[in-house]
Chain A
Amino acid sequence: MSPTLQLFLIVSAALFCIGLLAALSRRHAIFILIGIEMMLAGANLNFIAFWRFSSEPHQPTGVMIAIFSIAIAAAEAAVGLALVISVYRHYRTTNVDQLDQLKG
């Protein structure tokens, strides 16, 4: 027996929630970025799974969206890590709890 669409969706939901856990519960800015990347990867897995199990596999729409999503995730990672380095130069910390200058 081969895996059904449900199993792929469960795996990608688990991956998304692991990313959410990393993004919400860690204090280090790089961990938050790693969590966001994992959430994006879970969404990509969903796109590919829905394409593979669809009734019209001749249109590679899901594959295209996954490719564009990977490109946008790479751009996001580059800007996010540049921001981490820039913040580190100003405040000498990467702990997001200490970045509270805008707190009212």
Chain B
Amino acid sequence: MNSVAFIVIAIFTLAAGLAAATLQKLMHAALSFAVTFVGIAAFFFLLGAEFVGLVQVFVYIGAVAVLIVFTILLTRRDVEKDRMFNWSGVVIAIAVFGGLIWAILKTQSLSVAAPEIPALTVKRIGEVLMTNYVWPLQCVGLLLTAALVGALILVMEEKQ
């Protein structure tokens, strides 16, 4: 694994994530959100999980980001002007980050280098998905169907 690529992707992803969390204009935040997920997909490629990286790009940038943009367009009436930034949230986030960093740096067994592994092919993922994980796969299919039907029912126009 290349450490230069790691540093570049880390800075890119975290900067885009921070922009998505703090920008005032909703549309800019939604675009930064898409850029953040490009960075996370790049991390997946770096770690050798190309299939998950592709799924991430398709699902998040292709579907979720577009969904967020359309929701912003549909609820455009009150463009966010409130400069009320809740500082207690900042304090809690920094405290949680400090705790996590402390736990990560204190654990000795985590400072290992990556072992050489055989490439994970899509064929292997398909085999595992159709044998060991066939019940979770069916359940996720059912969940997605239920979620999409539920979302449609929620946004249907109410008859007077």
Contacts and interface: CB of A to CB of B under 8 A. Distances in A.
B2 interface: yes
Contacts of B84: 27, 97
B21 A19 contact: yes
What class of interface size applies to chain A in its complex with B? 35 or more
B154 A25 contact: no
Interface string B91-119: 01110110011001100001111110110
Q: Which of A35, A60, A85 has the most CB of B within 10 A?
A: A60
A28 B111 contact: no
Contact of A6 (B74, B105, B125): B105
Interface of B: 1-3, 6, 10, 13-14, 17-18, 20-22, 26, 29-30, 33, 36-37, 40, 43-44, 47-49, 51-52, 55-56, 59-60, 63-64, 67-68, 71-72, 74-75, 77-78, 80, 82, 84-90, 92-94, 96-97, 100-101, 104-105, 110-115, 117-118, 120, 124-125, 128-129, 133, 136, 140, 143-144, 147-148, 150-152, 154-155
Given A15-B14, A64-B129, 14 more contacts: A2-B113, A6-B104, A10-B101, A14-B97, A25-B87, A26-B89, A48-B47, A49-B47, A52-B48, A63-B52, A64-B133, A67-B125, A75-B143, A81-B67
